[in-house]
Structure 1
Amino acid sequence: MAGLLVAPFVVTGCTTTGTTAKTEKTAAVSHVKSVNGVKTYTYTARDKECLERAMFFESNRSSSDGLMAVGTVVMNRLASGRYPDTICGVVGQKNQFAPGVLTRKMESSKLPDVQAAADAVLKGQRHPKLKNAMFFHTAGLKFPYNNMHYVLVAGGNSFYEKRNRDGSLQNPVPQEPYNLALAYSPQSPSLPQDPSYDVTLPQAGPVPAAAPTVQVALADASKMETSVRGSGLGPQARGNRLAHNNDVATAQPQIQQVASYQPQFDTSAPASQPQSLGYAAADQKQVDAIGALLLSQDRPETPL
């Protein structure tokens, strides 16, 4: 999210400007549905790459704290309802992230660390200090605004919330549960090759005894015969940074993973400690409903 400050240098960061996805011309088609009363966002391998790019170009890549913080800001914006309703839409929004965030090459020995951090974000991990933060700027800068409430400095950035004079949040992030559903086409060259992540299996590390905050189940759609036709157009950022070729046929989507969770933030935990997550199998009826939703959507899988 790039704010440009010309005097006499360029500052990158998450600007304080917020708009709703509905005001964007490229967000005419909503990618947020209600499945059994729960808000559901679908994302693809391309959306995952957009998340990786934001984390790669907006943070000191040697800082795991900084990577997780940038990823949390992206997901907070997605869930807020004030920004585009896809990850690529959030990252590609005009004048929000660093220039060239969706076009520059990611060349670094730290790229595997960035990809691992993006995976963790999509599986439910959030930075414990950023419950409502949707903005950041380069660390060390000062601005004459009284509504900037700083909560973290990490990865070369200062992260903050916007608060009113009485201390109340101007734009709190909704805390109700929501779904993240991954769908991809096997024919796509951007198809992830990693094994499926199944959190119903035992996980290493301590798991809190409280009620689970993350529920994930895999939905196998290989036996479902569905004909999907689309225009080849997906969520785009202004400036056609995410433009697609209309002549490319849309591949039939497959369901890889469905995650239903409500992020939990422990603001008393040290920022360097990873967040613990509890897992349980999702209700099969809900998984089937989400699967049917994904197969009915037109989500192109052309790589960036």
Structure 2
Amino acid sequence: MRFARLRTPLAAIVAALSLSGCFGFGWGGGGFASVSEKECLMRAMYFESIRSSRDGMLAVGTVVMNRVQDDRYPSSICGVVGQKNQFAQGVLTRPMSETRSVALASEVADSIIRGQRHHGVRQAQHFHTAGLRFPYDNMFYVLEAGGNEFYEKRNPRTGVLAYFP
């Protein structure tokens, strides 16, 4: 009888978590449904770009996909977006409240999942707020879009893409 009282609150908690996007045990393991992958991508684009900019959303989505393709990152969209300290705080939990921007993020996410990429992003796996510049020799800036500066990490002597920790 005491378990019957626990089932309803527990079911409500599990349902709420599953609707919050990218629900799973461990972000890097993959295995998320395609709808959840789309929502994770939408959330990254929504919170990391100027929400009215398709170009900016596409650029952020391209970075996410560049990371998914790299063995050093998780192999799923939700795994990449859910990595600690990589995207905006609360990216997977905060509400997306601007209806037009959510619709745009949904449309852009569909395009990215079908294979579209922002060609200006190239192989970039990193970005930060536009207007900031850092003096590191390995940061090769390739694009400014949606309020962000996108860059590739390259070997400063050879200019070849390099992977630094």
- Please say whether Structure 1 and Structure 2 have the same fold, judged by a TM-score greater than 0.5: yes
Percent identical pairs in the alignment equals: 57
TM-score (norm 2): 0.78
Tell me which of 114, 123, 141 is aligned to 1:132: 123
Distance 1:29 1:107, change over 3 A: closer
**Partner in structure 2 of residue 26 of structure 1:** 26
Distance 1:149 1:56, change over 3 A: same
Q: Which runs of 5+ in 1 are unaligned?
A: 1-24, 32-41, 172-304
Tell me which of 75, 85, 102 is aligned to 1:111: 102
Structural mapping, 1:1-304, within 5 Å: 26=26, 29=29, 44-108=34-98, 109-165=100-156, 166-171=158-163
- Between the two proteins, the alignment pairs up a number of residues equal to 137
Distance 1:144 1:111, change over 3 A: same
Which whole-Å CA distance do the structure 2 matches of 1:46 and 1:27 have between them?
12
Give 1:79's aligned amino acid: Q
> 1:148·1:162 contact (CA, 8 Å) conserved in 2?
yes
> 2:27·2:80 contact (CA, 8 Å) conserved in 1?
no
**Partner in structure 2 of residue 242 of structure 1:** none
**Partner in structure 2 of residue 287 of structure 1:** none
Which whole-Å CA distance do the structure 2 matches of 1:96 and 1:43 have between them?
22
> 1:43·1:87 contact (CA, 8 Å) conserved in 2?
no
Q: CA deviation at 1:29?
A: 5.0
CA deviations over 1:3-48 (Å, ceiling 9, x no partner): xxxxxxxxxxxxxxxxxxxxxx9368565xxxxxxxxxx7521111
Q: Secondary structure at the match of 1:80?
A: coil
Q: Which runs of 5+ in 2 are unaligned?
A: 1-24
Q: Secondary structure at the match of 1:149?
A: strand
> Is the radius of gyration larger for structure 1 or structure 2?
1
Which whole-Å CA distance do the structure 2 matches of 1:30 and 1:104 have between them?
22
> 1:43·1:86 contact (CA, 8 Å) conserved in 2?
no
Divergent runs of 4+, >6 A: none
Q: CA deviation at 1:89?
A: 0.7
Q: CA deviation at 1:85?
A: 1.3
TM-score (norm 1): 0.43
Which whole-Å CA distance do the structure 2 matches of 1:28 and 1:161 have between them?
23
Which whole-Å CA distance do the structure 2 matches of 1:27 and 1:138 have between them?
25
Q: Tell me how large the CA RMSD over aligned residues is.
A: 1.8
Q: Secondary structure at the match of 2:74?
A: coil
